A and B are shown apart, each in its own frame.
Chain A
Amino acid sequence: TQLLEQSPQFLSIQEGENLTVYCNSSSVFSSLQWYRQEPGEGPVLLVTVVTGGEVKKLKRLTFQFGDARKDSSLHITAAQPGDTGLYLCAGDHSGYALNFGKGTSLLVTP
């Protein structure tokens, strides 16, 4: 069961553009993680957000956790071809198991 809804499912943009992807749920999570996955590889952890309203920045990536800890967003500024990949959000409410969304597939063309 996918408790997390990600949007959009697919995104194709040109180098230099900005974008935002969203992760929404009706459930409250104790923490939420964002991962990036390339074809045939495992997900790579980008960030963990824990506190409602928290904002974290990782170079050109900005992550925000909603005040109610039910939703999150990832904003990429000036996207580059190296940002291409599948972006997954995952919520932790059991303490040991992550519930993943289906992901947003991002393609950045030069």
Chain B
Amino acid sequence: DAGVTQSPTHLIKTRGQQVTLRCSPISGHKSVSWYQQVLGQGPQFIFQYYEKEERGRGNFPDRFSARQFPNYSSELNVNALLLGDSALYLCASSGTSGRATEQYFGPGTRLTVT
């Protein structure tokens, strides 16, 4: 079975632009979480969606938004990009309960803001 998939792999944007990142969870998983990993740091929690509802949100500005579709795939949107948004954006898929103990990560999308 395929693991968590993310697209695109790499992305270069200009400050002020908007970006959409995509994630497909492991088959059968109903929850998707998004994390931001800045170079030299551990991942920071942004959002979790379970059964298409937002279950939790980390300490990120309103420029960050997300949604989950009926097929459980998810999109992360970031508006008005700042240089500090440059990071590896990770999507994690959770098992049927959606608990954090079952999170499996995708390869990430490397976003560079210039």
A residues contacting B by CB (< 8 A) are 1-2, 4, 30-31, 33, 35, 40-45, 48, 50, 88, 90, 92, 94-103
Contact = CB atoms under 8 A, between A and B. Distances in A.
Nearest to A103: B42
Contacts of B107: 40-42
Contacts of B105: 35, 42-45
Interface residues of B, number: 30
Contacts of B106: 42
Contacts of B58: 97
Contacts of B88: 40
Interface in B46-89: 48, 50, 55-56, 58-59, 88
B112 interface: no
Contacts of B59: 1
A96 B50 CA distance: 9
A88 B92 CA distance: 15
A27 to B, nearest CB: 14
Overall SS of chain A's interface: loop
Nearest to A9: B40
B90 A43 contact: yes
Contacts of B99: 92, 95-96
B56 A98 contact: no
Q: Which 7 A-B pairs have the closest CB atoms?
A: A100-B42, A42-B105, A92-B100, A97-B45, A96-B48, A96-B56, A31-B101
B110 to A, nearest CB: 7
Contacts of B92: 42, 98
B79 to A, nearest CB: 22
B98 interface: yes
A100 B37 CA distance: 10
Contacts of A90: 42-43
Contacts of A1: 59
B7 interface: no
